[in-house]
Amino acid sequence: MSLLIECPHCHVTNRLEANRLAESPNCGGCHRPLFLGAPVPANSDNLAAILKWSKLPVVVDFWAPWCGPCQSFAPTFTAAAESMAGKVLFIKADTEAQPALGQQYRVRSIPTLAVFDGGVELERVSGALSAGQFKAWLMQFL
Ligand SMILES: [Zn+2]
């Protein structure tokens, strides 16, 4: 199964086989690691496969551009993606651009943060967390 993954660094779309997700592939455009250092934008075509094939736990930030608390939480999520690179895979799901995702994952309020391991949801929390709260919450799953 091949996936289209948008590079979080240069925004080029990469095509790769789902089973390569675990191998830390580099972007064909900027040659930086696709899944390290920045949250990867997901869509309804690739999120389920990312959750299934990632060897790392995955944290998904379900957000929307019109949501103020989502905007204020975004830098915290981005900073955590840098500081915890290689421990957790950070994914952003825009529920406005991708309404099917919000329905599929039963997102009732945003921001919602959900942690998955092996494709199974472990826990979710709604509302913007402080950087300290977010890190403490995430550390439980490592
Ligand atoms: Zn790139």
Question: Where do the structural domains in the chain lie, given as residue ranges?
Answer: 35-139
**CATH among 3.30.70.1520, 3.40.30.10, 3.90.550.10, 3.40.50.10490 for 35-139:** 3.40.30.10
Closest CA to 91 of 34, 135, 140, 133: 34
Look at residue 128 and tell me whether its pLDDT is greater than 90. no
Q: Tell me, in angstroms, the distance from the centre of ligand 1 to residue 36's CA.
A: 11
CA distance 37 to 102: 25
Please indicate whether residue 67 is annotated as part of the active site: yes
When pLDDT is averaged across residues 96-115 and rounded to a whole number, the result is 95
Look at residue 24 and tell me whether its pLDDT is greater than 90. no
Task: Name the residue type at position 119.
Answer: G
Q: Tell me, in angstroms, the distance from the centre of ligand 1 to residue 28's CA.
A: 6
